Amino acid sequence: MKGLGTALAFLLALGSAIACYGLTSNGFSLGLSSTGPPSVKTLQTAGVRQVNLREAGVNVQPFYDLHTNDPAISRELAQGIREQRDKISIPMVLPPADDEEIAGLLLRQVELAIDSVRRDAPEVFWISLGSYGIEWNGTRESGQGTLTVDMGYCLSPDEVAAMEAQLEAVIGGILSQAPSDPALAAVYFHDWIVENTVYASDLMEPQADMQGYEYGFNIDGVFLQARAVCEGYSKAFKLLCDRAGIPCRTVYGVADGENHSWNYVELKGQWYLVDSTWDDPVGGEDLLLRDHLLKGRQSRVGDQTIEDIYHNDYAEYPALALLGYAEQASQ
């Protein structure tokens, strides 16, 4: 395959429905396909490894890094997304590889890095239905070049600024009423979301048109529209926990056989499951359930345990406590 002799430039463009459901992405050009993360052997061959996307912090546990030698590369990508830059240019050095291998690895790592920002940073609500592509310009002899990520966003900077002001007013009000005890605060956040949000089941219909309804998969769906699906519920819970200083993860996987999103929250050194979506009955019922609140892996919901119901295969998450928070307190 030719093209890397003196310079290589390729553009891999993805469609605009990347993160709607938070679990799949559409195909891309150059004959590549989205078949899951590259193997460890392939990653080692190309000098790319999976580490943290951002610097570690109390509430930061992202899944992937972009490049093996310089964490600043992925931080630059995260920062560029936060600043809504249309083009994010990242100088980098690649080991010897053929064009197709480099194209596939760069695209997959950028996809994972962008996905991590979207999933781990719920306050970045303008990326959900954005499109993106990557372009590499470099030389085979030196391996030096520049990766340029072309980003698209579903909201303009002015729209983001206006919505952030509205969001801050709502979120600030919730936090001002939350108990200071972390466990009680987690319960309060769960209850507020359930009582103030209607599950938007129509957005999950196969024929649903997501254009204009991106809010359902983001924090603005819960805090501004009072209407969301599981991704919006879980992101809203994580954001409130983040702001309250409570370690929390947004978890993606399969629950009861369906793609789903929920939360893990850490209290007194142990992790517990919170699923505010499934505690919000569908169909107009004005009920507040706590069947999926601060549960451990052996906690029972009906005739099943939590570990029977929930499966998070997307990435590594903290291990849940054996029993739920209240179950442990009662022993």
Cα separation of 261 and 118, whole Å? 13
Pair 264, 249: CB distance under 8 Å: yes
Q: Residue 133: its pLDDT value, please? A: 82
The secondary structure of 219-276 as a DSSP string is HHHHHTSSEE-HHHHHHHHHHHHHHHT--EEEEEEEETTEEEEEEEEEETTEEEEE-T
> Is 0.85 surpassed by the pTM of this model?
no
pLDDT, tens digit, 9 for 90 and up, residues 251-260: 988 999 988 9
Cα separation of 228 and 248, whole Å? 20
Q: Which one, of 177, 190, 197, 180, lies nearest residue 273 by Cα?
A: 190
Write phi, then psi, for 133 (nearest 5 degrees).
-145, 165
Average pLDDT for 245-266 = 92
Token code pair at residue 7:
């310079």
pLDDT beyond 60 at 47: no
Radius of gyration of the chain (CA): 21
Token code pair at residue 174:
């919730």
Sheet of 132-138, strand order: 8-13, 132-138, 144-151, 87-93
Domain ranges of the chain: 8-151, 157-329
pLDDT, tens digit, 9 for 90 and up, residues 164-213: 999 999 999 999 999 999 999 999 999 999 999 999 877 766 555 556 67
Over pLDDT 70: what percentage of the chain? 70
Q: With 0-12 CB in 10 A as exposed, 13-18 as middle and 19+ as buried, what is 126? A: buried
What's at 139, amino acid-wise?
A: T
Q: Supply the DSSP symbol for 149.
A: E
* Residue range 157-329 in CATH 3.40.50: no
State the pairing for strand pair 258-267/270-274: antiparallel
Token code pair at residue 223:
């805090």
